[in-house]
Amino acid sequence: MSQNSVPTVVLGVIGADVHAIGNQILEHALEEAGIEPVNIGVMSSQQEFVEAAVETGADAIWVSSLYGHGEMDCRGLRDKCVEAGISDILLYVGGNLVIGKCSWEGVKELFLNMGYDRAYPPGTRPQDAIDDLRQDLVEQRESKDVVCSLD
């Protein structure tokens, strides 16, 4: 968890996507939940997400994509995190991630296989992702405590 014990989340809209309203809703929901949002805005590159996460010591990156090109825009983000020394950062993605008629389970599996910890369909309530974040941070902390006690 970030240094001040308040979770920090970098969020933004990836690629050439300009859908800003959902991103602003997420930012507000994070603030209301006592989580520090770092909103990098729309049309953000993978590198901008990674740089913001490194600069802020973020616990998670939340990527939004609504224009259907999420598969292309999001592929390789986990590798960039590893290269930047933040391999344990939580990666969440959500929105209208692919074009065409695909089952949500198939889309979710695709993104989990790309290294995302969670994937959310359009219409997901922000509180659902916030609850998942809190749970994932506790589990992450507990797993680190186990590893440290084995040393």
**Domains located in the chain, CATH noted:** 8-150 (3.40.50.280)
- Identify the band that residue 146 occupies on the pLDDT scale cut at 50, 70 and 90: low
Closest CA to 16 of 42, 39, 38: 42
Which one of 17, 59, 73, 117 is the catalytic residue? 17
Catalytic status, residue 28: no
> What is the torsional sign of CA 121, 48, 136, 4?
negative
The helix/strand/coil state of 115 is coil
> 3-class SS at 126?
helix
Is there a catalytic annotation at residue 19?
A: yes
What would the mean pLDDT of 34-58 be, rounded to a whole number?
A: 98
pLDDT tens for 66-106 read 999 999 999 999 999 999 999 999 999 999 999 888 899 99
Instruction: Indicate which residue of 19, 69, 132, 136 is catalytic.
Output: 19
Longest CA–CA separation in the chain, Å: 49
Per-residue pLDDT of 24-45, as tens digits, reads: 999 999 999 999 999 999 999 9
